[in-house]
Amino acid sequence: MPTDNAAVNFSELVNRNKQTLARLKESSRLLLHRRDGEDLVLTTAARAEQDQTVVSAATRMLAALARREPGSMELLLDILPDAFPWVRFLPEADVHAFAVELVDTMRAADSVGNNASVAQMLIAWQHTAEVYSDPELLAALSTDHGEDYGPAPDPREVA
């Protein structure tokens, strides 16, 4: 039965690949630390497929519940603070907008098999909640300074 994730240096995989890969029998994932880049996670294809199946099933169930059941949106709004405590800082209308966007983004991401957009959306909403949690920051960001600073540069062109 696989246990918690194990961690090794990437060089251990390169130098002792059979012994290192054998650790996947005791662990569902192997975290590979790299000196010159982002750490990697190694798992089996079967495990990755299982994980995607579970995420996809949960997404489809949440989306179906949100669309079909009367009062399901109210239930979702009621449980969001348990799953995401930071939503307590959002105005009520934004909590509703977050719930709708969460379901819609999860469905769309599942349809293409890539959850990066869900993670990005969650981080953006959490940052919004952080702004609302700080009265000084909220005031600074929501005050009209009376000036137009012109068009913002395209971030892809700024280096």
Q: What is the pLDDT of residues 99-145, one digit of tens each?
A: 999 999 999 999 998 999 999 999 999 999 999 999 999 999 888 87
Residue owning tokens 């990437």: 10
In the chain, % of residues over pLDDT 70: 96
- At what angle are helices 45-68 and 92-112 packed, to 10 degrees? 130
CB 54, CB 36: distance < 8 Å: no
Q: Which two three-digit tokens encode residue 74? A: 């109210």
SS3 at position 106: helix
Q: What is the pTM of this model?
A: 0.74
Where on the phi/psi map is residue 36: left (φ > 0), alpha (ψ -120 to 50), or beta? alpha
Q: What is the pLDDT of residues 8-37, one digit of tens each?
A: 898 888 888 888 888 888 888 889 999 999
